[in-house]
Amino acid sequence: MKSKNTKRDKELSADIVIVGGGGAGLAAALTAVEQGVKSIIILEKRAALGGNTALATGLFACESPAQAREKIVADKDELFKRAMKWAHYDRINPRIVRAFINRSGDTIRWLEQMGLEFNIIPFLPNQHPRIWHCPKGRGARLTQLLAEKCRIFEVKVLLKCGGKKILRNKMGRIVGVKAENEGQSLEIKTRSVIITTGGFGANKKLLKKYCPPYYEGLTLRGLRLTGDGLIMAEEAGAALDDLVTLLKEGPRVNPDTWPLMGLERSPITVWVNKTGQRFVDEAIGDYPFESVNAVLLQPDKGCYALLDDDIRKKYEESKSDLKEAIQKEAQKDNMIISDSWDEIAQWIGANPRILRKTVEEYNVFCGQGYDENFAKDRRHLMPLHTAPFYAVRSQPVFLDTLGGIKINEHMAVLDVRGEPIPGLYAAGVAVSGWMGDTYCGELSGSAFGFAVNSGRIAGENVARYLKS
């Protein structure tokens, strides 16, 4: 699918140019083909297709064929209300959210018809209904399948080719795209453009401008995308949101090491901040997109998970390689193993007296079966009695940015007056209006799901635009 740099490539034309070859871009291309569009070019800045979608695990969907087969009732109206309530109707467009949710079940049908198989598993403890659709092979297989279908339908893909500028005529309509293909300038004549470039997690200037929770040292766990689509859209006259959601998650041990991933979030551990004090019910660790907010409020924006050897043994029952991982992280100074809470306090940087008091108080709560501070479920109350003791250093991370370009429910890009720019569309996490300040873990897989569904919606509406 990769095009060589030839003279002919410098004078290309297409009905649609899609800038970005991730899940949204591939879904948009394939949907447009199904709607009868004959000539499509995908520009992908990286050397491979897939984007962050290829790294994802499962996508949100409701009223899907897969759910119907398992007799899972996932009502679209109820889930729409949950999404709106989660965001408190702030920075979210009900029409965009509704379009996404309404399309989600049909998208699973669409993918199943291509041969993709799904497991529907709970993302959160006791999640009801189950809405997290995990394809076999995860996002990597899903994007690979979409790319294979695009190749069959002769969608042209230019790898290592980044979009630079969207061209409009005097009437304001889209007429072309300027790009750079492995150092060579390229201009493509087209009547429509779909921006699907993903977020801007590697662009510190944009992060500081649009994402107030961002700070120097917050680690990016996704691809190093730089927001090219947002920049191109603004230059073309698109309206941008004032604030963009940071897809934060945490806490995580640094570096991200399995099987410690999960131990540090376990509800049976004890979380303390740099002062040696508990600050939250640790069961919130099962909800990583919410718990990260509590961690970010702590000194140095980090925390430490404490456990004793009994908890370590209990956790090791399901993680056979845990002991080896603990030793490895201790050597990296990401955790400490000690018989002394005073030594652990010194490693944390806390006052030993305060840490000892925290542990003693927590042990009392465990003995009486009631957490007087945070009302932690008694099922998760396990005392810290048996040496050696462990402390794991954890910190928030972020996976991507969500938002930026203003659109309507048809994925048409809006100008500063709120009017659609003729021929310009956008999809995936580059667009705003579908997520509030905190990522909605309750509708697990929303980012993955929105990428594919918004791509399909954009592909359909571009096809209609071209026919009109």
Helix/strand/coil for 182: coil
Rounded CA Rg of the chain: 24
Quick one: which of 183, 179, 111, 105 has its CA closest to 148?
111
- Report H helices in 215-336: 228-235, 260-263, 288-296, 309-316, 322-331
- Token digits for 259? 């099987």
Phi, psi of 311 (to 5 degrees): -65, -40
Domains identified in the chain and CATH numbers: 8-244+403-467 (3.50.50.60), 247-397 (3.90.700.10)
Render pLDDT for 190-200 as a digit per residue (tens, 0 to 9): 999 999 999 99
Chain segment 102-130, per-residue pLDDT in tens: 999 999 999 999 999 999 999 998 899 99
| Contact indicator for 298, 289 with CB cutoff of 8 Å | no
Chain segment 376-426, per-residue pLDDT in tens: 999 999 999 999 999 999 899 999 999 999 999 999 999 999 999 999 999
Q: What is the pTM of this model?
A: 0.93
257, pLDDT greater than 60? no
CA quadruple 367, 347, 354, 396: dihedral sign: negative
> What beta strand segments (E) does 106-235 contain?
118-120, 132-135, 156-159, 161-168, 174-181, 184-190, 193-195, 219-220
- Dump pLDDT digits (tens) for 275-317: 999 999 999 999 999 999 999 999 999 999 999 999 988 888 7
DSSP state of 218: P
Q: Is 115 exposed, middle or buried (0-12, 13-18, 19+ CB in 10 A)?
A: exposed
Structure tokens given for 196 = 């699907």
pLDDT at 207: 98
**pLDDT(11) > 90:** no
Position 401, amino acid: T
Question: Is residue 258 very low, low, confident or very high in pLDDT (cuts 50, 70, 90)?
Answer: low
Q: Where are the alpha helices (DSSP H) in 241-351?
A: 260-263, 288-296, 309-316, 322-331, 341-348
Segment 345-352 shows an average pLDDT of: 98
